[in-house]
Amino acid sequence: MDVAVSVLESYRGKDKVIRTATYAALLVAGVAQDSGNKPLSQSLQTAVGSFSACRTVLRLFDDLSMLAHTLGYGLGKQERDPVVRWLSVTKNLFDQSFFPLEHIAWLGDKKIMQMKSTSKWMQASIIVWTISLTLGIIISLRQLMKLKRREKALMRDLTGARLREDSGETIDALEESLQSVRASIRKTWLDLIRNAGDFGNAVNWCPEGFLWSGKFGLKSVGFCGSVASVIGLYNIVNAHRDRVRKKTV
C-alpha cells in the first residue's frame, strides 16, 4: 500500500500508470475490434484519446526537468566509455528538442498559435523521438556487451579463487561483484526491451514510407506500448519501494 500510494502521489509514477492504462486499453480495443465488438472498441479508443491528451498536457511542463537532467549529465565526463558518453549526450539533446516541437504542435492544434499545418510539427517530434530511442537501443547494446565481458571475467576470477581456496572475504567480494553485474545486465535488458517496444510504435507513427510506418493495427500498437509501459512502471515501483524501505530502516 505504501509503495502504491508513493507511486501515485509522484508525477512520474502517475504518468507511468496512465501510460500503462492507455496502451492496455488500446490492446483490448484491438482485440475487441477483431472479435466484432465495435462498441467496446470505440469506447476504449475514446478513453485512450482522453488519456493521451492528459499526458500531452502534463508534458507541457516537462521542459525544465528535462533541462535539469541534460545539464546535470553535461558532457558526460563521469562516463568512462567514450562511445556511451557521446551517444548519451546526443540522446539528451534529442530528448530536449522533443518537448518544444510537441508543444508547438499542441498550440497549433488548439488554435492558440496560427499555422498552416500542425502535422509537420507533430511528425518532427515523432522523428526526434525515434532517433532518441534508436540511440537508447545502441547504448543498451553497448552496455550489455561490456557487462557480459565483465561477467565472464568475474566468473573466471571466482572459479580461480575457489580452486586456489582463497580467503572467504575474497570469494564473498567476487560473488557480490558478480551479483551486482548480473543485476545491471537484467536492468539493461529491460531498458533495451522498453526502448524496442517504444521504437516499434515510433516508427509506425513516422511519415509514410519509412520501414513499417502505418502498418501497425490497434493490437500491435497496444502490445508494443504495453510492454514498454509495464517495464517503465516496474522501474518506477522498484525505485519507490527502495525509498520506502530506506525510510523504514
Domain that holds residue 3: 1-59+217-249
The model's pTM is 0.92
- With a CB cutoff of 8 Å and minimum separation 6, the contacts of 118 are 104, 105, 108, 109
Tell me, yes or no, whether 232 lies in a domain.
yes
Q: Which of 12, 3, 70 is nearest to 229 (CA)?
A: 12
Tell me, yes or no, whether 109 lies in a domain.
no
pLDDT computed for residue 94 by the predictor: 97
Structural domain tally of the chain? 1
Burial of 140 from C-beta contacts in 10 A (0-12 / 13-18 / 19+):
buried
Tell me, yes or no, whether 34 lies in a domain.
yes
Tell me, yes or no, whether 45 lies in a domain.
yes
pLDDT band at residue 29 using 50, 70 and 90 as cut-offs: very high
Report the range of poorest mean pLDDT among 146-160, 180-194, 235-249. 235-249
Report the range of poorest mean pLDDT among 1-10, 107-116, 140-149, 217-226. 1-10
Tell me, yes or no, whether 107 lies in a domain.
no
